[in-house]
Chain A
Amino acid sequence: MANPITSLRIDHITKRFPGIVACSDISLSVGKGEVLALVGENGAGKTTLMNILMGLYTPDEGKIYINNKEVVFKSPSDAFAYGIGMVHQQYMLVPNLTVTENIALGLSQMKTEQIASRTLERIKKAAKLDLNAVRRHIIAISEHYGLAVDPDAYIWQLSVGEQQRVELVKTLCFGAKFLILDEPTSALTPQETDELIALLKRMSNELSIIFISHKLAEVKALSNKVAILRGGKLVFRGNTADHSAADIAALMTGHEVYLPTNQSKQKPGEPMLEVHNLFVRGDRGNMVLNKLNLTVRAGEIVGLAGVSGNGQRELAEALTGLRVIESGEVTLDGVSLVGKTPKQIIAQGMGYVPEERNIEGIVPSMTIRENLVLKDIARAPFSMSGVLINNKKIDENADAMREKFDIRCSSVNVAAGSLSGGNIQKVILAREISRGPKFLIAVYPIRGLDLGAAEFIHKQLLALRDSGVGILLISEELEEVINLSDRIAVIFKGQIQRTLGHGEATQRKLGMMMAGVKEI
């Protein structure tokens, strides 16, 4: 068996996926008993980097050293052999197997020489026939670390918090002394989160831990080192104690970008969108919006700032009819949207620039001209009573939009999916704005776009605001939110933490509020 890990070093790792560089030249190191927080926005490359460390992805360039010796991991079992274990963000538990069966599954797979202790060797043999030995091992581990699990429960019967404990027990049963945790608290309730943090703090006496997070309170509470990734690059590393949560937030999201700012003195009008005591569930069935209240008036941009995963996506989906509203009231221009279909909500004057522009915003295989009329194809002038399509009008519309919104394409007859991100976003914006909406929800509208496209899109949003449309701008980029918004609402754990006026908000202040601090 391998010697215990005293140091782990990632050296100039690069990983490319078709079309993107997920990790670019990243170097990191973790010593014995250290807790490293790996921080960054969605898509910054944190998970990819950890999957490389676990042998799930092969790096294109770079090396991994353990105790100053180079190692090559071809599969997770190679990583287990060195005592590295990972708890993935999406739990790697087979729902229709019991806790014991799930753990036996991994144990039965280990090669004898990889097994860390003689007890484990006996267990491994036992896993062939006897689940009782595995069960005893689970109970021993769970008692040692104070992780309560029921070895005979089926995974699908367990709550998210319980599944997390099973994941931890599983990793420890495999003999891990070096834990990687990918956003361990993202699906937990606040109480479960507190328990987990306390538990990990205790465990860090015996183990080294890397944990991925973008919740800065946890980073401060748990880690002694922090590394920040942005766009696949390592932008910062240092000791956690030397930096405030606000500093880390700014480093995580900040871009030095010149973008237009909201300088209009126009007075906003009547309330356009009113959200009252909104409760909405997330994909895992837990409540992600908890009694959220928000008002956006006509001719006003309200920026919704927050670290992603605090309910932004669910809010946008609930407002557009894509997600069921558990309880609460939502009105658009005085008309309730609760229980309405997306079609009815669109007819009510709702515009939507979704987060996933390539999947939700356009139909990639359809042409630009078709994508531009997606929402209106069933109506005049683009079709006669929804039966016969009027190609001439659609062409005229496409040419006008291409001109007005500066959509750069060889022809409006090419597939929209072949365009660059910025041009796809222009197609979406053209479609939404030209429909004359009363209200627009824009989710991460310039994420991943180049400066030129970002500037154009911001100008369009400001012009739309000046024409009297209410806009909810959801973004993690503090600069974008500060530049554009008349008011800024900070969302934290499914609630509006506080609302700040234009000029009242600074990056530092927002960063702290995004991290959960209420009063500054």
Chain B
Amino acid sequence: MLDFIVLFLTVGIPLSSALLLASLGETVNQRSGVFNLGCEGVMCMGAFVGMFIPFMVGGSGPVAWYVNVAGLLAAAVVGALFGLLFGVVVIKFGAPQGIAGIGLQLFGTGLAGSLYRHFIGGAQGVAGINSIRIPILSDLPIVGKMLFSCNPMVYVAFLMVPVVHYILFKTPWGLRVRACGTFPRAADSMGIDVSKTRYQALAFGSAMAALAGAYLSVCYAKIFTDTLVGGRGFIAVALVYFGRWSPVGVLGGAMLFSLAQALQLAVQAYGFSAFPYEFLVMLPYVLVVVVLVFVGKSKHVGPAMLGKPFNREMRT
């Protein structure tokens, strides 16, 4: 039984990283009043760019490692650009965010797939970034394998929880972001440029989403396929609601979802046949839906003007 739990957690923690990065980014987007349903597309682009750089440059040894890191950074830059592109559509032109987001998702997924087939093609992998074993700590029983032998990006993802929390709640920029999402008219009346703040938030959030995608291709699977992201972008958006727009809440959501998924994998690996594993495959999705139904609905927490374009001279 202990082995089972260890396996379950060892699989679950890395699984949560991509979700965590993407939903933390989406949290910042939504706090500023824009929801990016195209998160999935941005993740796909991130996944492609992240592995494209090391695939083209190659190298070996420490060089390869740096090239892989460069891939991650390039993915973040491309993600930020996608965020700004989305911003032009929904902030400058005030397009409905839901539809524009679906457009971005289709565009990002399609473009990543096409570029992959044009430049790479076939199932070719990269060396990627491997897990590191933290000396001494990783030799501890049980927790050593679970917590101290992970991929560096897993640590980055978990570190981003307090970082994003600090940004949102302890910096003037975070204050502006929250004000723009809740009451842009008030922010405007205090001289804050609502559009600029939203562009910045979108760039940041989308860079995070792309980084999440790149984590999948460079660190997790070490390969790109069209289905690599596999709906995680949409789950990430749902997790933001689940986590009530708080980084810690999002962490809880990402862990719950990933552990439910890991449970299902562990059950399959151990071959429990008491009931069909298909039910367990459904479990994480069902969990998210159920929790979203019962999650607190206090209107004072989240961005009240989420999804509403802001135009100073538009009379309401």
Q: Does A148 contact B (CB under 8 A)?
A: no
- Given A56-B188, A95-B304, check contact A108 B183 (CB 8 Å): no
Interface mask (A82-122 → B, CB under 8 Å = 1, otherwise 0): 00001010111111110001101110111000000000000
Q: Which residues of A contact B171 (CB under 8 A)?
A: 128
Q: Does B176 contact A (CB under 8 A)?
A: yes
> Could you list which residues of chain A lie within 8 angstroms of chain B, going by C-beta atoms?
17, 54, 56-57, 75-78, 80, 86, 88, 90-97, 101-102, 104-106, 108-110, 127-129, 154, 156, 174
Cα distance A24–B172 in the bound complex, in angstroms: 40
Q: How far is the CB of A13 from chain B (nearest CB, A)?
A: 15
Q: Does B238 contact A (CB under 8 A)?
A: no
Cα distance A93–B172 in the bound complex, in angstroms: 16
**Shortest Cβ-Cβ A-B pairs, 6 listed:** A77-B191, A106-B190, A92-B186, A108-B172, A92-B189, A94-B179
**For residue A131, which residue of chain B has the nearest CB?**
B170
**For residue B193, which residue of chain A has the nearest CB?**
A75
Asked if A94 and B178 sit within 8 Å, CB to CB, the answer is yes
- Given A94-B182, A96-B301, A154-B300, check contact A104 B189 (CB 8 Å): no
Asked if B191 and A96 sit within 8 Å, CB to CB, the answer is no
Q: How far is the CB of A460 from chain B (nearest CB, A)?
A: 31
**For residue A87, which residue of chain B has the nearest CB?**
B189
Give the one of A101, A109, A156 with max B CB within 10 A.
A109
- Given A94-B182, A108-B175, A108-B176, check contact A76 B191 (CB 8 Å): yes
Q: Does B3 contact A (CB under 8 A)?
A: no
Asked if A128 and B191 sit within 8 Å, CB to CB, the answer is no
Cα distance A95–B183 in the bound complex, in angstroms: 8
Asked if B300 and A104 sit within 8 Å, CB to CB, the answer is no
Cα distance A154–B300 in the bound complex, in angstroms: 10
Q: Which residues of B contact A57 (CB under 8 A)?
A: 312-313
Q: Which residues of A contact B313 (CB under 8 A)?
A: 17, 57
- Given A105-B190, A110-B191, check contact A128 B172 (CB 8 Å): yes
Asked if B300 and A156 sit within 8 Å, CB to CB, the answer is yes
Give the one of B176, B179, B185 with max A CB within 10 A.
B179
Asked if A94 and B189 sit within 8 Å, CB to CB, the answer is no
**For residue B171, which residue of chain A has the nearest CB?**
A128
Q: Does B315 contact A (CB under 8 A)?
A: yes
Give the one of B171, B172, B176 with max A CB within 10 A.
B172
**For residue B301, which residue of chain A has the nearest CB?**
A96
- Given A57-B313, A104-B172, A108-B172, check contact A97 B189 (CB 8 Å): no
- Given A56-B312, A94-B178, A128-B171, check contact A105 B192 (CB 8 Å): yes
Asked if B182 and A95 sit within 8 Å, CB to CB, the answer is yes
Cα distance A91–B175 in the bound complex, in angstroms: 18
Asked if B176 and A76 sit within 8 Å, CB to CB, the answer is no
Asked if A86 and B172 sit within 8 Å, CB to CB, the answer is no
Number of interface residues of B (CB under 8 A): 25
**For residue B173, which residue of chain A has the nearest CB?**
A108
Interchain Cβ contacts under 8 Å between A and B, 15 examples: A17-B315, A57-B312, A80-B191, A92-B183, A92-B185, A94-B178, A94-B182, A94-B187, A96-B301, A97-B179, A104-B172, A104-B175, A108-B172, A108-B176, A127-B172
**For residue B185, which residue of chain A has the nearest CB?**
A92
**For residue A124, which residue of chain B has the nearest CB?**
B172
Q: Which residues of A contact B300 (CB under 8 A)?
A: 95-96, 154, 156
Give the one of B186, B189, B315 with max A CB within 10 A.
B189
Q: How far is the CB of B247 from chain A (nearest CB, A)?
A: 16
Cα distance A416–B301 in the bound complex, in angstroms: 40
**For residue A128, which residue of chain B has the nearest CB?**
B172
**For residue A54, which residue of chain B has the nearest CB?**
B189
Cα distance A92–B190 in the bound complex, in angstroms: 8
- Given A106-B190, A109-B192, check contact A101 B312 (CB 8 Å): no
Q: How far is the CB of A397 from chain B (nearest CB, A)?
A: 35
Q: How far is the CB of B183 from chain A (nearest CB, A)?
A: 5
Asked if B191 and A75 sit within 8 Å, CB to CB, the answer is yes
Q: Which residues of A contact B192 (CB under 8 A)?
A: 105-106, 109
Give the one of A77, A104, A106, A174 with max B CB within 10 A.
A106
Cα distance A56–B312 in the bound complex, in angstroms: 7
Cα distance A54–B185 in the bound complex, in angstroms: 13
Q: How far is the CB of B311 from chain A (nearest CB, A)?
A: 12
Q: Which residues of A contact B312 (CB under 8 A)?
A: 56-57
Cα distance A122–B26 in the bound complex, in angstroms: 34
Asked if A94 and B186 sit within 8 Å, CB to CB, the answer is yes
Asked if A109 and B190 sit within 8 Å, CB to CB, the answer is yes
**For residue A20, which residue of chain B has the nearest CB?**
B315
- Given A76-B189, A106-B191, check contact A97 B178 (CB 8 Å): yes
Cα distance A90–B179 in the bound complex, in angstroms: 15
Cα distance A479–B193 in the bound complex, in angstroms: 46
- Given A95-B300, A156-B300, check contact A101 B189 (CB 8 Å): no
Q: Which residues of A contact B193 (CB under 8 A)?
A: 75
Cα distance A75–B301 in the bound complex, in angstroms: 29
Cα distance A363–B183 in the bound complex, in angstroms: 29
Q: Which residues of A contact B183 (CB under 8 A)?
A: 92-95
Interface mask (B281-316 → A, CB under 8 Å = 1, otherwise 0): 000000000000000000011101000000011010
Q: Which residues of A contact B302 (CB under 8 A)?
A: 96
Q: How far is the CB of A453 from chain B (nearest CB, A)?
A: 24
Cα distance A109–B315 in the bound complex, in angstroms: 25
Q: Which chain B residues (152-207) contact chain A, with CB distance < 8 Å?
A: 170-172, 175-176, 178-179, 182-183, 185-193
Q: Which residues of A contact B179 (CB under 8 A)?
A: 94, 97, 102, 105
Q: Which residues of B contact A96 (CB under 8 A)?
A: 178, 182, 300-302, 304
Cα distance A108–B170 in the bound complex, in angstroms: 12
Cα distance A93–B35 in the bound complex, in angstroms: 23
Residue from A17, A88, A108, A128 in contact with B189 in the complex, judged by beta carbons closer than 8 Å: A88
Asked if A56 and B172 sit within 8 Å, CB to CB, the answer is no
**For residue B190, which residue of chain A has the nearest CB?**
A106
Give the one of A54, A92, A104, A110 with max B CB within 10 A.
A92
Q: Which residues of A contact B172 (CB under 8 A)?
A: 104-105, 108, 127-128
Cα distance A475–B46 in the bound complex, in angstroms: 62
Cα distance A91–B182 in the bound complex, in angstroms: 13
Cα distance A154–B182 in the bound complex, in angstroms: 13
Q: How far is the CB of A156 from chain B (nearest CB, A)?
A: 5
Q: How far is the CB of A319 from chain B (nearest CB, A)?
A: 26
Q: Which residues of B contact A86 (CB under 8 A)?
A: 189
Cα distance A80–B188 in the bound complex, in angstroms: 13
Q: How far is the CB of A373 from chain B (nearest CB, A)?
A: 30
Q: How far is the CB of B262 from chain A (nearest CB, A)?
A: 34
Q: How far is the CB of B27 from chain A (nearest CB, A)?
A: 14
**For residue A111, which residue of chain B has the nearest CB?**
B191
Cα distance A203–B176 in the bound complex, in angstroms: 30
Cα distance A248–B93 in the bound complex, in angstroms: 45
Cα distance A105–B189 in the bound complex, in angstroms: 11
Q: Which residues of B contact A77 (CB under 8 A)?
A: 190-191
Cα distance A306–B186 in the bound complex, in angstroms: 31
Cα distance A156–B304 in the bound complex, in angstroms: 12
Q: How far is the CB of A133 from chain B (nearest CB, A)?
A: 13
Asked if B191 and A109 sit within 8 Å, CB to CB, the answer is yes
Cα distance A52–B179 in the bound complex, in angstroms: 23
Q: Which residues of A contact B301 (CB under 8 A)?
A: 96
Cα distance A78–B188 in the bound complex, in angstroms: 12
Give the one of B171, B175, B302, B312 with max A CB within 10 A.
B175
